[in-house]
Amino acid sequence: MIVTGTWEILARSQGLIEKETAMTLEDGRYVIGRPEYYRPLPHLGMALERIGLDPDGDYSPSKENLQKIMLAHIMTVPYETLDSCDYMRKVDFAPEYLFEKFVLNRRGGYCYEINGFLQAILEGLGYECYPLSGRLLFGQTVFSPMGHRTTVVKIDGRRYLCDVGYGAGCAEGPVDIDDPGIQDVLGYRFSIRHHDGAQFGDITLVKHADDGTESDFYCVYLHPHTLLEFISSNERAQLSDRRVVRLRTETGSIVVDGTKFRRKVGKEVFEEEITSYPQFYKILTQEFNMIVPRWSFSDTWPREMAFDEAECRKEAMR
């Protein structure tokens, strides 16, 4: 049984929540309106293969295994905004949708989707975890809307902040929420700052640079959220004004930022201008290993107006 705040999921049938699934509050009984968000992934083994792990391996709950899963995820699943920027498709994060998008089409997504996929994998492996909501800061002092999803994983009484939802640059392993010191996470240093739980949440993830400076990455509220609480904020997410595809690699990272494609190898950065959709399609399929349909793009680069998906299908069949 997964406990999310005062909510408790009561009805599970072999791990699959059916339509009239009940949830309780302290003063009554309620029914989940969107049970599809609580179903498990259709095939856990295929999800593990998608992130480069042996589906028959032992990934039982431990900090070491959690680190292994997170790094594998970051190295294989890109952060990307193609659905909202180029495809003009509605973004969803129900596990069945994520399985089709991430596993079958080898795509990525933004934080609600990517951290949702991680949580679904971890739950399938027996980890105790729940989502949190927060505000992105990136070293700035601008007060931004609640627009980030991350995950807390509990192992042996310890709480770990786990986030694979930014592609590159975030902590690439679990950060112990209750450790007061600076923690080394695969060569990068992070710490957790606790505060009063007001508008900046309960904790802030702080990134420490080699020169001694520090920057606030994001702040989150520690009270557990139900998945339903992310639906409305997901529908309000404003991502369509910026095209981003970002993936961590063994030597650095590869990034599409607007009309630029950048490859970082160590401290060197190589950049090329994207001038056409055929070129963009080649980058997505060969560099990021995605499965994307050609008809999803317009003939003009960059996109100047939204293309109707049904019309694109008709055009592709002519």
Instruction: Provide CB contacts within 8 A for 97, sequence distance 6+.
Output: none
Annotated catalytic, 208? no
Annotated catalytic, 85? no
Annotated catalytic, 163? yes
What is the DSSP track for 214-251? EEEEEEE--S---TTHHHHHHHT---TT--EEEEE-SS
Strand order in the sheet with 7-9: 3-4, 7-9, 22-25, 28-31
User: What whole-number distance in Å separates Cα of residue 203 and Cα of residue 192?
Assistant: 6
The catalytic residue among 83, 86, 111, 162 is 111
User: What whole-number distance in Å separates Cα of residue 109 and Cα of residue 98?
Assistant: 9
The catalytic residue among 73, 83, 92, 148 is 148
Radius of gyration, alpha carbons of the chain: 20
Beta strands in the chain (DSSP E): 3-4, 7-9, 22-25, 28-31, 79-80, 128-136, 148-155, 158-162, 175-176, 183-185, 188-194, 203-208, 214-220, 244-248, 252-257, 260-265, 268-273
User: What whole-number distance in Å separates Cα of residue 121 and Cα of residue 124?
Assistant: 5
The catalytic residue among 92, 163, 176, 216 is 163
Catalytic positions are 111, 148, 163
